[in-house]
Amino acid sequence: MSYGSITGSSGLGSRGPFGGPSRQGYQPLATQVDPSDLQELVQETSASIFRINSNVTSLEQSLRALGTASDTQELRDSLHEVQQETNRTVAASTGAVQQMSELLRGCSRHEHLQLDRLTAQLSGAIQSYGVVQQKIAEKSRALLPTAQRGGRQQSPRAPAAELADNEIFGGGGSTWQGQEPALLPEITEEALEAVRLREEAALQIESDLLDVNQIIKDLASMVSEQGDAIDSIEASLEAASSHTQAASELLAGASRHQPMRRMRPPNACGCPTDSGWAEPA
């Protein structure tokens, strides 16, 4: 990444890194920022925000299809792929915000406010994405058979070794008492495979979940640190300006007193001299 002048000139009408007019005043590190680099990051982040919002809309449509006749393995695979793509977009956009925050360190508050707005838009998009992600994961898990929801896949006929003793040797409702028990309907291998695929898809969707709250906290921290840096720089500049003004006033006061001290007579201290006093008669 190359660095150059952010304004191009120090005169009126200079442009800031976001394309707007730059504030007149001291900008200690802004002269090292290449506006083309910043503009590229801004465009990249704006495109990422648009992509995240578009994917949220697509995921919401797929969410409504879960549990319906349109709920196919292709739909589950699509959910996973869209979330994977969105996760990569979120990572890229947060990285771009961090780069902009570092590049704008020391720039004017005007540029910082524009970064704030961009970060707020990104945080809102990520928040919406996190909500729909959670809904998809919950619905996918709820649509699984009861055994799979608890993380244990049961066969249609449990072997005798897995049955409790009271179910085998006695007790009300025992399998082995009375008439021959009715067998459970035969479950085909295809049905078991479909259940297994559904469970795998649900686990994939759960693994796609992002820690949205932590991401938003990190974004807020980046912007907050940038704001603190600007406040610190402005406070230092104000203090330096006060010291400079005080020093100028002291120098001006000293200059005014110098002529008066040169015009003061030799006996101004009150000591008598031979030429200034006469003997009494």
CATH entry 1.25.40.10 includes domain 32-145+197-237: no
Among 109-118, 210-219, 247-256, whose mean pLDDT is lowest? 247-256
**Segments making up each domain of the chain, as ranges:** 32-145+197-237
pLDDT score for 106: 72
User: In this predicted structure, what is the pLDDT of residue 244?
Assistant: 59
Which carries the bigger pLDDT value, residue 103 or residue 81? Answer: 81
Is 114 or 135 the better-scoring residue by pLDDT?
Answer: 135
Cβ proximity of 37 and 2 under 8 Å: yes
Q: What pLDDT score was predicted for residue 37?
A: 85
Amino acid 184: pLDDT: 54
pLDDT exceeds 80 at position 230: no
Q: In this predicted structure, what is the pLDDT of residue 253?
A: 63
pLDDT at residue 222, rounded to an integer:
84
Name the band, by pLDDT with cuts 50, 70 and 90, for residue 150.
low
List b or e across 188-201, with b for residues whose CB sees 16 or more CB atoms inside 10 angstroms: eeeeeeebeebbeb
Q: Nearest 5°: CA angle at 261, between 260 and 267?
A: 115
